Amino acid sequence: MKKSVNTFFVTTILIFVFAFSEQAQGQDLQFYQLKTYFLKDSHQEKVVDQYLKEAYLPALKRSGIENVGAFKPIPNKEGSDHKIYVLIPFDSLEQFLTLDAMIAQDKSYISAGANYINASHDNAPYERISSTLMKAFSKMPTMKATEITGPKKERVYELRSYESATEALYQNKVDMFNAGGEVELFESLGFNAVFYAEVLSGDRMPNLMYMTTFKDMESRDAHWDAFRTAEKWLKLKAEPKYQNNVSKADIMLLYPTDYSDY
């Protein structure tokens, strides 16, 4: 057990050293944190909505962080999961590491978020929070808030996570997006990507994540039909060097909350 824990810390340190070294070399890649709030019922959802809208997102803006996304799952036949996804862009790892301490000194944040911040153990505002830290792809080094307009309830924000069986196959899939031209193909087909990123730390690794946006579900389906039949994609996926590099794909169809920046 001790060896496993030590290995975890060594790996984490190496990830951060690598990330810092890339910035030092002038890569200027953004980092993203995806926070997922798991909620047991509509009451918890209301509490977290209020906290995010009135306290947390305004505090992020005061700390210099713009374009924060907040999303919920699109309901299906089985209903809707009580989850809220918050996507936060950072210009550096230092900004990520110092954020919590900074907003803890923000009096407006403490006041506006008092009900959430001071909640008791037997009346918690959520079941748990998961956090995924990511680094932007070289082909899209910074986040781009979507230009999609129209009613937020009708929009589709598609968040995808691609896992790979090994670290080498994962790097191969990242290369397929960057050098292979998959990012450029999405762009040419008008997928309105918000970000593409490598996961540095999370509960599903090795994996990458990306988000694309559409005005409605009909538009989303039409775009994917065009992608699947595109000559460039048919050629790219047939290349021997890019075979078997995704072992599991998770697709989350979301819509933006009324307090989301985009």
Return d(Cα 167, Cα 188) in angstroms, integer: 29
Q: Which two tokens stand for residue 188?
A: 């040419």
Q: Report DSSP state, residue 34.
A: E
Contact indicator for 58, 259 with CB cutoff of 8 Å: no
Predicted TM-score (pTM) of the model is 0.88
The neighbour count for residue 124, using CB atoms within 10 Å, is 13
Provide mean pLDDT across the span 45-50.
98
Q: Say whether pLDDT at 223 is over 80.
A: yes
Tally of domains in the chain: 1
The residue type of 200 is L
For residue 261, being part of any structural domain is answered with no
Backbone angles phi, psi at 130, to 5 degrees: -105, 150
- pLDDT tens for 113-139 read 999 999 999 999 999 999 999 999 999
Q: Say whether pLDDT at 81 is over 90.
A: no
Return d(Cα 175, Cα 258) in angstroms, integer: 36
The neighbour count for residue 96, using CB atoms within 10 Å, is 18
Dihedral sign for Cα atoms in the order 52, 54, 57, 63: negative
Instruction: Write out the residue range of the structural domain in which residue 182 sits.
Output: 2-256
CA atoms within 13 A on the CB side of 91: 5
Element (H, E) at 163: strand 156-163
Q: What is the CATH number of the domain that holds 84?
A: 3.30.70.100
Return d(Cα 6, Cα 10) in angstroms, integer: 6
Angle at which helices 93-103 and 2-24 cross, to 10°:
110
Q: Report DSSP state, residue 66.
A: -
Q: Say whether pLDDT at 185 is over 80.
A: yes
For residue 262, being part of any structural domain is answered with no
For residue 41, being part of any structural domain is answered with yes
| Whole-number average pLDDT of the chain | 91
Q: Report DSSP state, residue 56.
A: I
Q: Which of 20-34, 67-81, 98-112 is predicted most confidently?
A: 98-112
Angle of CA points 128, 89, 176, to nearest 5°: 100
Return d(Cα 215, Cα 110) in angstroms, integer: 36
Residue 173: its pLDDT value, please? 98
Residue 76: its pLDDT value, please? 82
- pLDDT tens for 90-121 read 999 999 999 999 999 999 999 999 999 999 99
Residue (of 47, 11, 68) closest to 119 by Cα position: 47
For residue 60, being part of any structural domain is answered with yes
Backbone angles phi, psi at 146, to 5 degrees: -60, 150
The SS3 of residue 39 is coil
Return d(Cα 185, Cα 177) in angstroms, integer: 9
Calculated CA dihedral for residues 249, 129, 93, 245, nearest 10 degrees: -10
Dihedral sign for Cα atoms in the order 252, 253, 259, 262: positive
